[in-house]
Amino acid sequence: MTIFRTKSVEQSLADAQGGEHRLRRTLSALDLTVFGIGVIVGTGIFTLTGVVARNYAGPSVAVAFVVAAVVCGLAALCYAEFASTLPVAGSAYTFAYATIGEFPAWVIGWDLMLELALGAAVVAVGWSGYAASALSAAGVNLPGLSAGGWTFNYLAVLIVLLLTWLLVTGIKLSARFNLVMVTIKLAVILLVIVAGLFFVNGANYRPFVPPAQPTAGTGGLAAPLIQVLFGITPTAYGLTGIFAAAAVVFFAYIGFDVVATAAEETRRPQRDLPIGIIASLSVCTVLYVLVSLVVVGMQHYTQLSETAPLADAFKAVGQPWLAGLISIGGISGLTTVILILMLGQSRVFFAMSRDGLLPRSLAVVSPRYATPARITLIIGVVTAILAGFIPLRALAEMVNIGTLFAFVVVSIGVVILRRTRPDLPRSFRTPLVPWLPVASVLACLYLMLNLAVETWLRFAAWMLLGITVYYLYGTRHSRVGTLTSPQA
């Protein structure tokens, strides 16, 4: 079938060398690792820790972070092989096009657009909260803007538009800015870990895994899909609470896959991409576990704040000055997350446009800045609108399901490409194929089942819209379809 036509690895590599559609290779392994840390360390540490410890896992929130990291680690090994074998912009979209076919590639590209745009909007909303808190502590109280039941988050819009300008002006400048912001937030996180150790109360860890309790308010569309399909009663705490928590904190790890979207701008992709992906995920997992252990040790999990758990934990032990520093770390941390999520989306959008599945005129690279400026501006405006009007909780689970779906496709793609193109040079090889990719698929599917039915319905609606766009536009403008039409 024509919708399953594939784009050869050789053609993908050739397109990356093409004139006005070519990106400049300037990034190193260090740049990629810092990008990965920059996008992973953010919402998970600064906002999600309190929500998950209080409502799902208790002190064992650290275990939930480990579970989520294992799932991400399985997928990361698959991403590393693909990214080093096919170092072209587009990440999972490009990988799917080379293995499964055009229509599945479109679906995953459309899915990535959802993941990255909503992810950036979610984090921008969180950023605005930290910024408003920091300004209030400094004596500057900003007025709110609302009308007709709608609230306009102008701080979130402002940061998105400023970072859009930065992305337009060049990838290397963005990398330098990211390095500065990541250095600040890592310094703050290390301070939290070291200073927090002096205020840990061992009694707060008991019981480390609180007894399971039925959760309230999870009927109907808000119920996890696993409950609807298999009748499993959702619980907070206990072993099932840890896995439910892992499905939520999974959002904290979103980002290592964004490193793969910068493959086409990496100087030595075969070497640097696996290093960037695996190193960033490993560093962030250690940081998440240490911070979560310190925070639940400082304050009982039932008393943790759901909006600013780190800062409020230090206030609770009489150290408000540290709370102020944490707000600065939160602002810098979330800034880098927004930046890199929008960077990732622009590269996926760029790859899809270059292939003709979206208007090819959008994939023109600016001769002045060597960036896909048109696409970046469009993404910036859309993300700003989402961040300005949509609340945080309505978006976070949509990002999770989109990311997990992408991981499933990439894991399957590794097995397929091993069978269809065993001749390709692979500088990094995923171990234990096909067993490790199969484990990755099963783990991702399990976490997806823990997401609410309404999240699945929204995801299905977005996918249906994407399929409509593909059949109305993509099938007629696909460059691969144009090249193969005489044989079709």
How distant, in Å, are the alpha carbons of 4, 109, 375 from that of 468?
16, 14, 21
Least confident of 60-64, 129-133, 279-283, 335-339: 129-133
Residue range 234-250: average pLDDT?
Answer: 81
Distance of alpha carbon 208 from alpha carbon 283, whole angstroms: 24
Token look-up 């119920």 returns 223
Residue range 316-335: average pLDDT?
Answer: 80
Query: To which H or E segment does residue 32 belong?
Result: helix 29-40
Pairing of strands 213-214, 150-152: unpaired
Least confident of 40-49, 103-112, 381-390, 410-419: 40-49
Residue range 464-473: average pLDDT?
Answer: 92
Confidence of residue 4 (pLDDT cuts 50, 70, 90): confident
- Give me Rg for the CA atoms of the chain: 22
Give me the sign of the Cα torsion angle 456, 461, 464, 465: negative
CB 87 within 8 A of CB 264: yes
Q: pLDDT at residue 376 above 60? A: yes
Sorted by where each begins, the domain ranges of the chain are 25-142+171-364+390-477
Q: pLDDT at residue 430 above 80? A: yes
Fold of 25-142+171-364+390-477: Amino acid/polyamine transporter I (1.20.1740)
Residue range 26-37: average pLDDT?
Answer: 85
Q: pTM surpassing 0.85?
A: no
CB 204 within 8 A of CB 299: yes
Reported as a single tens digit per residue, the pLDDT across 295-309 is 999 999 988 887 678
DSSP 302: G
Question: Omega before 434 cis (within 30°)?
Answer: yes
What pLDDT is recorded for position 11? 81
Please name which of 32, 52, 91 lies closest in space to residue 402, comparing C-alpha atoms: 91
Confidence of residue 470 (pLDDT cuts 50, 70, 90): very high
Least confident of 106-115, 127-136, 415-424: 127-136
